[in-house]
Structure 1
Amino acid sequence: MLDHVALQCADVAAAAEFYTTVFAPLGVHEAMRYDNDGLVVGLAGPDGFPKLWLGPLVDHGDRPIHLALTAPSRTAVDDVFAAAQSWGTEILHEPRLWPEYHPGYYGVFFRDPDGNNVEAVHHGFDVGAVP
């Protein structure tokens, strides 16, 4: 449904490093980078199309969002959690099933360097996993 999301960042390079490191288990990587009155970085997933854009602050007011990235498996969610922990970011909710959302919803929630609530989520059940 979403074509792309753009986040305003206090430090675009640091945010790009955070997202490409923490979400590497989901195939997130830098697809492009350019200067447009400040650094702009386009991040892509396995399909190679930049869908998450990081750019400089335009509005210095409160602007936190919730951003969820799809994980191909529960293991990938757990790998994102481990990467987020190693980054030292604030963990909001450790990986677990969230049956109040729907059966098989498995996610982890944490803060990015700009305070946004970000998530890795897998929808469904892994083969051989206990629901």
Structure 2
Amino acid sequence: MLDHVSVQCDDLGAARQFYETVLSPLGITVNMDFGDVLGMSGSDGVPKFWLGKQTTGGKQREIHLAFTASSRSIVDTVHRAAQKLGAEVLHEPKEWPEYHPGYYAVFMRDPDGNNVEVVSHS
């Protein structure tokens, strides 16, 4: 459905550190760096998640991003990485049966206050 997503950041360096740390267990890395814009991709090498410097001014509104993990253990690894980084953890890893059986996720805030989720559907 979606081809790619771009998130604008107040502090691109802080956002890069956060996303590189919490998404590395998913195999997602920065593979394009244009200075004020970063492209991140998984194993296919195609950047589908972009970070850019906020330039339009004004207060940003919170968004919710969810990334897929292939297993519950990877969700747990992301949780530990977020804690080590000092990120605010909104919900520790647990099953959310109200979404569907096997929905196991952790929720945290990025440096811009966005709600970032990593979920396994196993």
Which bracket does the TM-score occupy, shorter chain normalised?
A: over 0.9
Distance (Å, rounded) in 2 between the aligned partners of 1:79 and 1:53: 23
Aligned length, in residue pairs:
121
Which of the numbers 74, 77, 84 marks the counterpart of 2:75? 77
1:29 aligns with 2:29: yes
The runs of 5 or more residues in structure 2 that have no matched partner are: none
Aligned residue in 2 for 1:46: 43
Higher relative contact order (CA 8 A, sep 6+): 2
Distance (Å, rounded) in 2 between the aligned partners of 1:59 and 1:109: 27
Instruction: Give 3-state SS (helix, strand or coil) of 2:15's partner.
Output: helix
Distance (Å, rounded) in 2 between the aligned partners of 1:96 and 1:47: 29
Distance (Å, rounded) in 2 between the aligned partners of 1:8 and 1:103: 33
Please give the TM-score of this superposition, normalised by the length of structure 1: 0.88
The CA RMSD measured in Å over matched residues stands at: 1.0
Instruction: Give 3-state SS (helix, strand or coil) of 2:49's partner.
Output: strand
In the TM superposition, structure 1's runs of 4+ consecutive aligned residues that sit over 3 Å from their partners are none
Please give the TM-score of this superposition, normalised by the length of structure 2: 0.94
Aligned residue in 1 for 2:52: 55
Distance (Å, rounded) in 2 between the aligned partners of 1:62 and 1:13: 17
Moved more, 72-81 or 52-61: 52-61
Identical counterparts, % of pairs: 59
